[in-house]
Amino acid sequence: MTYPRILAVILLGVLTVPLSASAATFFSERTIVVSEAPEDNLYLAGTDVTVATALQADVLALGGTLSLRAPIAHDALLAGGTIVVDGDVGGDLRAVGARIVVTGDVTGDLSLAGGTIITSSSAQDARMVGGSLRVNGGGARTVLYGADVHLAGSFTGDVEVVASDSLTLAEGTVIEGTLRYDAPQEVTLPATATVAEGVTYTGSSSYLPTVEQAKTFAIAGASVFLVVRILSLVIAAALLAGLFPAFAQKVSDRVLSRTPGRFALLALLGFAVVIATPVLIFLLLVSFVGMSVAFVMLFGYLLLIMLAYLYAGIIAGASLAQGLFKRTQVTWKFAVLGMLGLYLVGTVPVIGGLIVSILFFAAAGAIVAIAHRAVFGRLPEDIAAE
């Protein structure tokens, strides 16, 4: 078994831990149409992603346009530009996008964050944050935060709304619980609208949130931050591999085409640079003469830390490409797959963090080695490529 294949097996093995020992199927293409259901969890990344068949496991999808046209038995986590969910979701549905349309029923919780959100779902607990919200019906509890909020249909429980611009109830709206809202102006209920347990208007001058509102904001903020963080890392890795393919290929080849001993030396080099550089910067800062050099080194150090983590994801993708698909060329697609896989591996306690750290130090060592060769024309003999 080759070295990249061993690394790919290790990465995939660790990925199974946070997925409750379930296997996973990965697809990373420009256009993806899932017409045959895999038996395990499904991970998708592409420009245009469509799920056209019923799935019996979890789904995680990233892309420009995401369309779930068939039922999903368990949870779905989606992030993209335009997201359309027509099929029912048996577990929780969480999505972040510019435009989100959900018409399928959700058995678990529904959590959405986007610019425009349109829903017609029976989720028991729905929480949405966005610019324009058009919500047609809901379950036991519906919590909405937006600029313009429009309610219609039947809600079986309580509804809580914070609208910065306006709140509107359509004709025939039925809320079997209470309606509590914060908006610039009081809402005039249509004659055909019904609120069974009363309406509470908190006004627009209440700037301090309640404990429950604070919890809701915290949950929504944490969810948005998590998804944005994953998206930013994936996009950054894809840009590095796409805009600088030669350098990405060189870094990956230096790490993966060596023996395990050479890999260990690169990781040790990266570890030494990452640990020793802050000490050197501090020593330079205490002297007036070395302050300018220290600031230049600090900038370079921060840049190295950022690039090392991104290239660790690219290396992970390259190892998966070589080990599983027999492809040696590094592309942005495998960079996306690797960055996503590296992030998921990092969620595994202890062993996940150890693997991410090793790849991070190896990437840092490779970058330093390549920079040394570019400046001095040769590498130290103990890490020389030739």
Domain extent, residue 29, equals: 23-210
Give the residue from 151, 180, 210 where a domain finishes. Answer: 210
**What tens digit of pLDDT does each residue of 222-258 get?**
666 677 778 888 888 888 888 888 898 888 888 887 6
Residues 288 and 345 in one domain: yes
| pLDDT of 77 above 60 | yes
Residues 197 and 242 in one domain: no
Residues 202 and 222 in one domain: no
Grade residue 374 by pLDDT with cuts at 50, 70 and 90.
Answer: confident
Over residues 46-67, the mean pLDDT reads: 85
Asked if 179 and 163 count as a contact pair (C-beta separation under 8 A), the reply is no
Residue 343's pLDDT is 81
Residues 158 and 197 in one domain: yes
In a domain, 14, yes or no: no
Residues 198 and 70 in one domain: yes
Tally of CB atoms within 10 A around 209: 14
In a domain, 263, yes or no: yes
Over residues 342-361, the mean pLDDT reads: 83
Residues 66 and 167 in one domain: yes
Indicate the range of 133-142, 176-185, 276-285 predicted with least confidence. Answer: 276-285
Residues 40 and 143 in one domain: yes
Q: Which amino acid is at 257?
A: S
Give the residue from 192, 210, 228 where a domain finishes. Answer: 210
Give the C-alpha separation, 149 to 39, whole Å: 40
**pLDDT averaged over every residue in the chain:** 81
Q: For the chain, how many structural domains are there in total?
A: 2
Residues 224 and 328 in one domain: yes
Residues 37 and 153 in one domain: yes
Q: Which residues lie below 8 Å from residue 374, measured CB to CB, with a gap of 6+?
A: none
In a domain, 16, yes or no: no
For 225-262, b/e burial (b = at least 16 CB within 10 A) is: eebeebeebbebbbebbeeeeebbbbbbbbbbebeeeb
Give the residue from 181, 210, 239 where a domain finishes. Answer: 210
Residues 33 and 81 in one domain: yes
**What tens digit of pLDDT does each residue of 272-328 get?**
999 988 888 888 777 666 677 878 888 889 999 999 999 999 988 888 887 777 788
Residue 102's pLDDT is 95
**What tens digit of pLDDT does each residue of 103-135 get?**
999 998 999 988 899 999 888 889 999 889 999
